[in-house]
Amino acid sequence: MKKTLLTLTAAVALGLSSLSAFAADPIVIKFSHVVAPDTPKGKAAEKFKTLAEEKTKGAVKVEVYPNSTLYKDKEEMEALQMGAVQMLAPSLAKFGPLGVKEFEVFDLPYLFRNYDDLHKVTQGEIGKGLLDKLGAKGVKGLAYWDNGFKIMSANKPLKTPDDYKGLKMRIQSSKVLEAEMQALGAIPQVMPFSETYQALQTGVVDGTENPPSNMYTQKMHEVQKNATVTDHGYLGYAVITNKDFWDKLPEDVRKGLDEALKESTDYANQIAKEENDKSLEAIKAAGKTDVYTPTAEETKALQKALAPVHAKMAGRIGKDLIDSIYKATGFDPSK
């Protein structure tokens, strides 16, 4: 009783407007990412924000920082581990530096024929097993968000494997992507996403690979004369959080966030293909890039040139994991 009176007196003394200061402050989730807001990941992050705030009735406030405004690729992983941000959705190609090399399996060329193959992995036991591996790094894997299949670009036509010889190609920080470019005789250059446009513009690198949604929203097509719709590999995301932060959330808050995640994941995976199809059309319409669709013969030749990457990377990623994916999708690209 005495305590209540004291609290009330203090509140009155501070003035009525300060009364809300006595209510609990919202839990802030900083969600940092490196792509534009109008991409599959950017839109899904905004969707998550809306749903999370709604479902936790304001107990959580989500701040989304797109376009590397808060952290670049490598820094954002460190920031998450240190607790400076609470959520990220890095590309699956960027988990090697964290010490979870197995995610690079998703970078293997021609591993998936389409989104259906991919979902057999990301929405099944293999996907879950991979997310669980993050626990040892103080990171909790929450979900997979789709982006799409990559196209190759440069300032010259890319039709045969020979066309890639000697080209400096920007890649994400994945050893599999390094091996992929080397298999084509290209020179891989690991570089943060935020620096790629400028590197292409100034000629620091000659070309790159990315799904159309990333190329278009970063305006990379404006500094690439040629693009080939190779669909030679997949780029998508693992949504992750700081494990300690997540485990300490009040039960009802975590439940609300889980629901928000589930719905925003469904949303991300529904819009990804359409967003990429739209971006490819937009790149064509912009008229700055000659967009080429390879013939069946040309695709076969590229497939053949890239096939050895699977065996070469088995030691790093694990042959069992690679084989389990062939089995789950019913597709072994080496056959």
Our CB check for ligand LMR shows the closer of 131 and 171 to be 171
Q: Which alpha helices (DSSP H) does 287-318 contain, by range?
A: 296-306, 308-317
d(Cα 105, Cα 319) in Å, to the nearest integer?
Answer: 10
* Pairing assessment for the beta strands 226-228 and 151-154 based on DSSP bridges: antiparallel
Q: What residues numbered 87-106 form the site for ligand LMR, per CB under 6 A?
A: 91
- 29, 35, 98, 313: residue in contact with ligand LMR (rule CB under 6 A): 35
Our CB check for ligand LMR shows the closer of 20 and 202 to be 202
Our CB check for ligand LMR shows the closer of 158 and 235 to be 235
Min dist. Cβ of residue 93 to ligand LMR (A): 6
Q: Which alpha helices (DSSP H) does 235-295 contain, by range?
A: 243-247, 251-286
Our CB check for ligand LMR shows the closer of 242 and 276 to be 276
- What are residue 139's phi and psi, to 5 degrees? -120, 140
Min dist. Cβ of residue 80 to ligand LMR (A): 14
Min dist. Cβ of residue 145 to ligand LMR (A): 10
Our CB check for ligand LMR shows the closer of 27 and 103 to be 103
- 68, 86, 172, 226: residue in contact with ligand LMR (rule CB under 6 A): 172
The token pair at 264 is 């925003």
Our CB check for ligand LMR shows the closer of 84 and 190 to be 190
CB-count burial class (<10 Å; 0-12, 13-18, 19+) for 138: middle
Does position 193 bind ligand LMR by CB under 6 A? yes
Count of residues engaged in binding ligand LMR, rule: CB under 6 A: 9
Written as one letter, the residue type at 26 is P
Q: What residues numbered 210-229 form the site for ligand LMR, per CB under 6 A?
A: 210, 214
Q: What is the DSSP string of 218-242?
A: TTGGGG-SEEE----SEEEEEEEEE
Could you tell me which of 185, 12, 179 has the C-alpha nearest to residue 93?
Answer: 179
Q: What residues numbered 269-288 form the site for ligand LMR, per CB under 6 A?
A: none
d(Cα 190, Cα 271) in Å, to the nearest integer?
Answer: 28
Our CB check for ligand LMR shows the closer of 27 and 171 to be 171
Range 162-168 contact pairs with CB under 8 angstroms and sequence separation of 24 or more: 167/206, 167/207, 168/204, 168/205, 168/206, 168/207
Our CB check for ligand LMR shows the closer of 131 and 239 to be 239
Min dist. Cβ of residue 31 to ligand LMR (A): 13
Q: Residues 126-155 vs ligand LMR: string with x where CB under 6 A?
A: ---------------------x--------
C-alpha torsion 263→269→271→272, nearest 10: 150
Our CB check for ligand LMR shows the closer of 27 and 144 to be 144
Run of H or E residues at 152: strand 151-154
Q: Residues 55-94 vs ligand LMR: string with x where CB under 6 A?
A: ------------------------------------x---
Min dist. Cβ of residue 320 to ligand LMR (A): 26
* Pairing assessment for the beta strands 234-242 and 139-149 based on DSSP bridges: antiparallel
Min dist. Cβ of residue 191 to ligand LMR (A): 8
Min dist. Cβ of residue 27 to ligand LMR (A): 25
For the chain, the distance separating the N- and C-terminal CA atoms, rounded to the nearest angstrom, is 78
Contact (CB, 8 A) for 155 and 226: yes
Interaction site with ligand LMR (CB under 6 A): 34-35, 91, 147, 172, 193, 210, 214, 235
